[in-house]
Amino acid sequence: MDKQLGKQYSAEERVAFLRDNSDKVEKMTYLKRYTADELRQRKDQLSEVSISISEIEDEKKEAMKDIRERMDPLKDEKKVLLGNIKRKGEEVKEECYKMIDRDTRMVGYYNGEGDLIEERPAYPDEQTTIFSIQRTGTEG
């Protein structure tokens, strides 16, 4: 299946194209990869959060209860950031577009940006649907 669909359209037109040509629209959770800039921003954000945690730990001796209330959300955020940076992306849940290729008997799921996020063999009950993507121009 194509790695991307509808990239030649604007974001709004691409979603309409994907919706119109999909066999089904389903909510899915998947790992959306960070771009190099997003990864750098998350690393900067992690650095800022780590600095904040360090400063808060210095104050811990004076007001343990107050510090604990401020630190716990930052530690949770740090854990999420570290996990996302390690995986180089974050899980998102959004509408995805299921496309069935009858010729190859493959099913592909595309996000709203037109990127293929998952591909698998079609189940027997899915192999009767006609593949309905109308390709125009050149696509990646």
The DSSP string of 95-135 is EEEEEEETTTTEEEEE-TTSBEEEEEEPPGGGTTSPP----
Q: Are 17 and 52 found together in one domain?
A: no
Per cent of the chain over pLDDT 90 is: 66
Q: What's the whole-number mean pLDDT along residues 39-51?
A: 96
pTM comes to 0.48
Structure tokens at 21: 């040509």
Structure tokens at 97: 């577009």
- Number of domains within the chain: 2
Distances 126 to 24, 100, 113 between C-alpha atoms, Å: 11, 7, 24
Q: Are 83 and 98 found together in one domain?
A: no
pLDDT in tens, 59-106: 777 778 877 788 999 999 999 999 999 999 999 999 999 999 988 999
Q: Are 43 and 67 found together in one domain?
A: yes
Structure tokens at 71: 């630190």
Residue 69: what residue type? E
Cα–Cα distance for residue pair 28/44, rounded to 1 Å: 29
Q: What's the whole-number mean pLDDT along residues 98-126?
A: 91
Q: Are 28 and 96 found together in one domain?
A: yes
Domain span at residue 83 reads 36-87
Q: Are 138 and 100 found together in one domain?
A: yes
Residue 127 scores a pLDDT above 60: yes
Q: Are 134 and 95 found together in one domain?
A: yes
Alpha-helix runs per DSSP H in the chain: 11-21, 36-59, 64-87
Residue 132 scores a pLDDT above 80: no
Distance of CA 132 to the CA centre of its chain: 25
Residue 135 scores a pLDDT above 80: no
